[in-house]
Amino acid sequence: MKIAALAWGLVVAAACVMLLFQLHKGVKLQTDMTALLPTEERDTFGQSAKDRVTGILAQRVFILIGDDDRSNARAGGAALAKALEDSGMTAAVTYRIRQDSLKSLGAMYFPYRFGLLTAADRERLQQNHGAQIVDRAIASVYGPSSIADANLLQRDPFLLIPEFLTNLPMPVARLTPDDGVLSTRDGNQTWVLLVAQMNGNVYSGAFQERFISAFNVTERKLRATMPHLQMLRVGAIFYAHAGAKSATEEITRLSIVSLLGTIVLILVVFRALRPLWLTLLAIAVGVLCAFAVCLSIFGGMHVAALLFGVSLIGISIDYCLQYVSAGFGAEAGPPNERLRQVLPGITLGVATTLIGYATLLLAPFPGLHQLAVFSAVGLIGSFLTVVLWLPFLDRHEPLPHGARILATANLLWKFWAVAHYRRWRWGLIALVAILTIVGATRLRFDDDVRHQQALAAGLRNQESQIRRLTGISGGTEFLLVRATDRDGALQTEEALQSRLSSAEQDGAIRGFQSIAEFIPSIARQREDRALVHDKLMLPYLASYYRRLGVIGGAQADTDTAGFLTPDAISDDSPLSFLRNLILESDASGTMHVVLLTGISRPGEIRRIAEAVPGVRFMDPAGDVTRLLGEYRRRATILIAVSVILMMPVLIWRYGLRGSLRVALPPAIAVLAAAPLVALAGVTFTFFNAMALVLVLSIGFDYAVFCRESKPSRRPATMLGVWLAMLTTLLSFGLLVLSSTYAVHAFGATLLVGTIMAFAFAPIASDPGEGF
Amino acid sequence: MTRRIAWPVVAIVTIFPILRLTSICFAELAMGPALAADQTLHGRFVEERHLKGLSSTLKSEGSFVLAPGKGLIWRIEKPIQTLTVITPAAIRQIINGSEVQHIDAARVPFIAHFYDMLNGSLIGDWSAMRHDFAVKSTGDRRAWRTVLTPLQPDDPIAGMLASIVISGGKMVDTVDINRTNGDSEHMAFLDQKVSSVPLVGEEARLLDSRPAS
């Protein structure tokens, strides 16, 4: 035994060196959810586009400053704009807008006016209804909305440019400039808009901390003088900061409770801390080995696989507790003897759990592969530590004090064994069965990633208020348009436009934004020019001028200079936001983005994208949602597969009837857990499925421990099971209190599943041995 | 950087009519009786527009209907027949029964904003006017004259106006708009009648701001 312990020491030392070496080289922890996708489904090209667009969107913040007093709102806006500009954390702050933005916009479009038609006017000319445009121009000249003067009538006879400009789909159109500041009024309140673009990584904790504290300081200062000032904000940085803050607080709170609870439990039961150290040592060695092996196999690890992996290795606490509980009672022998007593049970427990974890390898998902290898290696590491090291580290003397505790622990056994409780037993079984059936009818699947994270409610309120007041809405979905050159990309966007417009009318999306809506392709400008010349100027201009009395007759200034291209948008143009929609434009090709907002029927958008060559629908949140759904389905199937794979081992040891008995408690736990939590309104997600993987292993452990236990050792076995259950609840069950839905669902399922596995575990024992 | 606006252009297209109405109603309020919420004003107009560089004066005439809370119908009968309808929801231009222009207030909030000014002045809240214009009135209730001059001559919109002169007695009789580029227009209002009978038929339909299906 000593030699084996030393050998294991060498292996662990080697793993340590390996890990240190890897850490020294620099470990890359992947955080990108799509890295969990099967390789063939990944798309690096689309990925980089997605990263860039989401980067641009994430770095933006919109702030509305409101007050009953217009001058207060404006003073607040100006002060905040100044503070943000001075902070050094913004690339651009837009508060005061140019008074001459009309001029700059007009100046950009005017030279190209004969190639710029609204969709409606294009259709009129195509269908030879040019007379309608003529009538409209005459009505405009006479009518109450006339802006025409002789100069304009000569240069743009049919007032096409005002028509084109008023039909531009300008964003934030609900805001109007008031003395150089975009404002809106709502009841008595005046709101002013401020937009800022960050220059740092909004997901970095340090940057968030600096930005939010600077923002809060300014807000406090302003409130000191203007107590009724309101600030509405929307932006990824606010959500990310609030999320990180609440998660940190929550994790701190839960870990303290969990750690204190575990320490108190061990102290009360063992009156010593040594069992705690032994347990932690076993888990630590397991995680160390797992990490070292995974890094050398995969070269890196996904952070999700790492987190779930550590949880799965945590089950090895069950084996430790079986061993340390064997130290109770005067008849408990020396450490080696205690180990010998529990060895069959924990070996079978490890074997079934290993089969369960290894089954995850069968799915074609890199995330599950990493998870399987990590947790299997870790489990073996922990198990070997328990078997080879713990007897040497443990105290030699048995624990003399535990008579009452052992008796109490044995009560569960009595509940299942004593004839007196027969009715109660059937009552419990019936109750669980009924609740499970009722719960099953309420079971709902939910893979939507947006439901898995808790967005701060206060911020969500502000976002919806901002949407109501301004029409600004956050969205991460977009269409990626690829073409060989820029005009090709614009032409593709034009092909999309009519389809997207009708989707907008159907309510499939709330809106979209593309460059081609503002800058038509050269091909279209050429067509429009021909239409204007052939179907408007030639047939109507002379008589129109005669009718209005334009001096100089048909001497319209109809010369045109080249074509309008996106290059014409200058840095300080009101349209400069459009430049963000051009991702790449070089000899190798062009990539444009069409932003979409408020998608309610993604399927329709997907069909539109498929119908137009060169277009792809990019839906980061949707991709993760599909991924979670796929992982959930696979994980659920794998649970069933792993039960089937475990059976041969159990049949070999217990025969067919015995193995079915052993499989009963875990089966009840796994089948009942999801319906029972559904009764509390918890939907079934990938995270519940992962909890069930754990529940299955836990269930088999408890069942095998009970089955392997000799009647004389039952109280000690039951104590080990009790402790395993309580520590599991303290570490994972507490997660039910999390405000992050995914974690809450995981915790709830594990809580209920573990309790079920525990409650029914004695059923597994052999009735022939005096059940 | 999703922002900034084609609004000034929109403003230019839409501001003058509404401004004009606002002034009318304002003057009416200042000097004459304001309309109650259930009243409507029917009348006729003659308008002459002098544009530099045009050989002739652009003269038009027709009728109008003004209903507080609902909107304005401006019907030109000569020299061509057109309908302009301004409601809180949109500005529409209709020729021969077909809509040739539709500016939606949801996309161009300016309309709603100025509509609020119009309505505000009907109920007596004309502080919005004072924000943009210096208001000077002379005369008495039976014969008065009000001159509006823009407070901010470098404002891209108001700066295009030199002055607006409104005169009247019990009702607004004339409005003169002078622009900084030398163009001017003169409007005379005739046969004005205040009625308490609800609008019916086409007029009611045109001012129904619920979206047509």
Per DSSP, A698 falls in state H
Which secondary-structure segment (H or E) carries A457?
helix A457-470
Comparing alpha-carbon positions, the chain B residue that sits nearest to A179 is B155
Per residue in A384-409, pLDDT tens?
999 999 888 887 777 777 788 888 88
Q: Which of A490, A483, A487 is nearest to A518 (CA)?
A: A490
Pairing of strands A582-586, B144-150: unpaired
Average pLDDT of the segment spanning A122-130: 92
Residue A72 covered by a domain:
no
The residue of chain A with its CA nearest to that of B100 is A136
C-alpha A476/C-alpha A647 separation (Å) is 47
> pLDDT tier at A678 (50, 70, 90 boundaries)?
very high
Query: Do B5 and A574 lie within an 8 Å CB cutoff?
Result: yes
Residue pair A339/A402 in contact (Cβ under 8 Å)? The answer is no
* Residues β-bridged to residue B194: B41
Cα-flanking dihedrals φ and ψ of residue B195, to 5°?
A: -130, 150
Nearest to B94 by CA among B106, B78, B83: B83
> Which range of residues forms the domain containing residue A569?
41-57+477-520+564-618
Q: Which of A56-70, A224-238, A247-261 has the lowest mean pLDDT?
A: A247-261
Instruction: Check CB contact of B113 with chain A, cutoff 8 Å.
Output: yes
Cα distances from A120 to residues A46, A124, A132, A538, A579, in angstroms, run 34, 6, 11, 20, 26
pLDDT at A121: 93
Same domain? For A589 and A491 the reply is yes
| B chain contacts of residue A60, beta-carbon cutoff 8 Å | 1-2
What is the distance between the alpha carbons of residues A55 and A382, in angstroms, rounded to a whole number?
42
**Residues B10-39: tens digit of each pLDDT:** 333 334 444 444 444 444 444 444 566 677
Among candidates A374, A322, A377, A383, which has minimal Cα distance to A347? A383
Residue A528, pLDDT score:
93
Q: Which residue has the higher pLDDT, B13 or A722?
A: A722
Q: Which 3-state string (H, E, C) describes A499-530?
A: HHHHHHHHCCCCEEECHHHCCCCHHHHHHHHH
How far is A491 from chain B, CA to nearest CA, in Å? 23
Instruction: Please report, for residues A441, A674, A675, the alpha-carbon distance to residue A437 in angstroms, rounded to integers and kept in the order given.
Output: 7, 11, 7
Is B151 at the interface with chain A, CB within 8 A? Answer: no
Inside any domain, residue A261: no
**CATH number reported for the structural domain that contains residue A391 in this entry:** 1.20.1640.10
d(CA B170, CA A445): 71
The answer to whether residue A140 neighbours chain B at the CB level (below 8 Å) is yes
Partner residues linked to B99 by β-bridges: B94
Q: Is the peptide bond before A169 cis (omega within 30 degrees of 0)?
A: no
Per the model's pLDDT, the better-predicted residue between A146 and A85 turns out to be A85
Facing residue for A549 by CB, picked from B6, B54, B82? B54
In a domain, A448, yes or no: no
In a domain, A471, yes or no: no
Handedness of CA A449, A451, A456, A459 (dihedral sign): positive
Give the integer Cα–Cα distance in Å for B136 and A557: 42
Read off the tokens for A374. 């990590």
**Min distance A78 CA to chain B CA atoms (Å):** 17
Question: Burial level of B112, CB count in 10 A (0-12/13-18/19+)?
Answer: middle
**In this complex, do A145 and B55 lie within 8 Å of one another by their Cβ atoms?**
no
- The C-alpha atoms of residue A478 and residue A50 are separated, in whole angstroms, by 9
Rounded Cα distance, B126 and B118, in Å: 8
Q: By three-state DSSP, how is residue A623 classified?
A: helix
- Residue A86 contacts B where some CB pair is shorter than 8 Å: no
Question: What is the separation, in whole angstroms, between the first and last Cα of chain A?
Answer: 35
Q: How far apart are CA A275 and CA A86, in angstroms?
A: 57
- Mutate one of A57, A71, A102 to test the B interface: name it (highest B CB count within 10 A): A102
Residues A741 and A683 in one domain: yes
Question: What ipTM describes this predicted complex?
Answer: 0.78
How is residue A397 annotated by DSSP?
A: S
Q: Spell out the domain ranges in chain B.
A: 7-192
Q: Are A143 and B93 within 8 A, CB to CB?
A: yes
Q: Which two tokens stand for residue A134?
A: 């003529």
Q: Is the pLDDT of residue B211 over 60?
A: no
pLDDT tens profile B132-166: 677 787 887 778 887 878 777 766 556 677 887 87
Strand partners, A445: A684
Whether the CB of A162 is below 8 Å from some CB of chain B: the reply is yes
Q: Which chain A residues are Cβ-neighbours of B181 within 8 angstroms? A: 149
Whether residues A514 and A542 fall in one domain: no
A627 and A770 housed in the same domain: yes
Q: What is the CATH number of the domain that holds A498?
A: 3.30.70
Pair (A577, A657) in one structural domain: no
How many Cα atoms within 13 Å fall on the side-chain side of residue A285? 27
Pairing of β B133-139 and β B82-86: unpaired
- Domain match, A328 and A432 both: no
Q: Work out the minimum CA distance from A260 to partner chain B, whole angstroms.
A: 50
| Whether A398 contacts A330, CB under 8 Å | yes
HEC secondary structure over A112-162: HHHHCCCHHHHHHHHCCCHHHHHHHHHHHHHCCCCCCCHHHHHHCCCCHHH
Residue A260, pLDDT > 80, answer yes
Q: Are residues A570 and A507 in the same domain?
A: yes
Q: How many domains does chain A have?
A: 4
Average pLDDT over residues A62-75: 92
Same domain, yes or no: A626 and A751: yes
Burial annotation B132-148 (CB, 10 A radius, 16+ → b, else e)? bbebeeeeeeeebbbbb
Residue A606 and residue A675 share a domain: no
Q: From the candidates A135, A145, A152, A185, which should be mutated to test the interface with B, based on the most B CB atoms within 10 A? A: A145
Say yes or no: B93 contacts chain A, CB-CB below 8 A: yes
pLDDT of residue B27: 43
Chain B touched by A550 (CB under 8 Å): yes
Cα–Cα distance, A47 to A37 (Å, whole number): 12
What span, in angstroms and rounded, lies between the C-alpha atoms of A590 and A592? 7
Residues in B touching A575 (Cβ below 8 Å): 4
Q: What is the pLDDT of residue A527?
A: 94
Is residue A143 a part of any domain in this protein?
A: yes
CA distance A1 to A661: 34
Instruction: Say whether both A155 and A287 belong to one domain.
Output: no
- Same domain, residue pair A678 and A633: yes
The percentage of chain B sitting over the pLDDT mark of 90, rounded to a whole number, equals 3
Contacting residues for A672 by C-beta, under 8 A, at least 6 apart: A432, A435, A436, A439, A752, A753, A756
User: Of A499-513, A531-545, A655-669, B79-93, where does mean pLDDT reach its minimum?
Assistant: B79-93
d(CA A211, CA A238): 9
Residue A525 included in any domain: no
Domain made up of B7-192: CATH architecture: Clam (2.50)
The reply to whether residue B10 touches residue A171, judged by beta carbons under 8 angstroms, is: no
pLDDT, tens digit (0-9, with 9 covering 90-100), for A424-469: 889 999 999 999 999 999 888 888 877 776 677 888 888 888 888 8
Confidence of residue B7 (pLDDT cuts 50, 70, 90): very low
Residues A737, A770, single domain; the answer is yes
> Please, what is the Cα angle at A584 between A582 and A587, to 5 degrees?
135
Is the pLDDT at B99 greater than 90? The verdict is no
Kindly identify which residue of chain B lies nearest to residue A545, measuring between CA atoms. Answer: B54
